[in-house]
């Protein structure tokens, strides 16, 4: 299934959890794939995203919930390839990102947010994430970024990248 040119998310989980997204494409949307906390502040976590493509979105994959598994997805030409959010409504904790590809995520889509152009970004407060065996290159700002001091409880391992925000990212 493909979604293109939506002013909101291409694919969005707004209720419930334990969903599977396999082999979908989201092009030129606000977020390609969005797993937020819903309007009733219910967690919509424990989802699986496998072999999906996000191209030309503001954010390729946006996570603000817990216990999601992302394997073999591709994010290209987005402002941020994979964004693990943390705010007062919810945090992207205990997620697993493995064997994903993020390339050329250097497109400034929204001039209000100049701190973009990142392959994989983990916001302060998003912890317990396992980010391994991903390939990231061509990001405008930094390929891999973790805004937690010393990466907190996030595990970064065996990733292939050029630039990182901290030495705890491997």
Residue 16 resides in a domain = yes
- Determine, yes or no, domain membership for 29: yes
Strand, helix or coil at 62?
strand
pTM of the prediction?
0.93
Question: Could you tell me if residue 152 is inside a domain?
Answer: yes
Give the per-residue pLDDT at 88: 66
Element (DSSP H or E) covering residue 81: strand 80-84
Q: Does residue 86 fall inside a structural domain?
A: yes
Sign of CA dihedral 39, 92, 44, 139: positive
Query: Is position 170 within any domain?
Result: no
Q: Structural domain tally of the chain?
A: 1
State how far the Cα of 70 lies from the Cα of 43, in Å rounded to an integer: 17
Of the two residues 37 and 100, the one the predictor is more confident about is 100
pLDDT tens digits along 24-64: 999 999 999 998 876 665 667 899 999 999 999 999 999 99
Q: What pLDDT digit, counting tens, does each position of 60-74 carry?
A: 999 998 999 999 999
Q: Please indicate, yes or no, if residue 42 is contained in any of the structural domains.
A: yes
Q: Domain range spanning residue 39? A: 5-9+11-156
For residue 165, tell me if it sits in a domain. Answer: no
Residue 44 lies in a domain: yes
């Amino acid at each position: 299934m493909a979604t293109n040119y939506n002013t909101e998310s291409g694919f969005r989980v707004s209720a419930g959890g334990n969903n599977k997204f396999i082999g979908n494409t989201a092009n030129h949307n606000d977020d390609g794939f969005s797993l937020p906390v819903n309007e009733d502040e219910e967690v919509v976590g424990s989802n699986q995203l496998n072999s999906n493509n996000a191209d030309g979105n503001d954010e390729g994959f946006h996570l603000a919930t817990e216990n999601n598994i992302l394997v073999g997805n591709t994010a290209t030409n987005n402002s941020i390839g994979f964004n693990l959010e943390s705010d007062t409504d919810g945090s992207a904790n205990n997620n697993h990102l493995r064997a994903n590809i993020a390339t050329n995520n250097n497109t400034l889509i929204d001039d209000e947010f100049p701190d973009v152009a990142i392959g994989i970004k983990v916001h302060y407060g998003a912890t317990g994430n396992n980010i391994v065996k991903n390939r990231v290159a061509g990001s405008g700002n930094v390929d891999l970024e973790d805004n937690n001091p010393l990466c907190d409880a996030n595990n970064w391992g065996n990733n292939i990248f050029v630039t990182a925000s901290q030495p705890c990212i491997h």
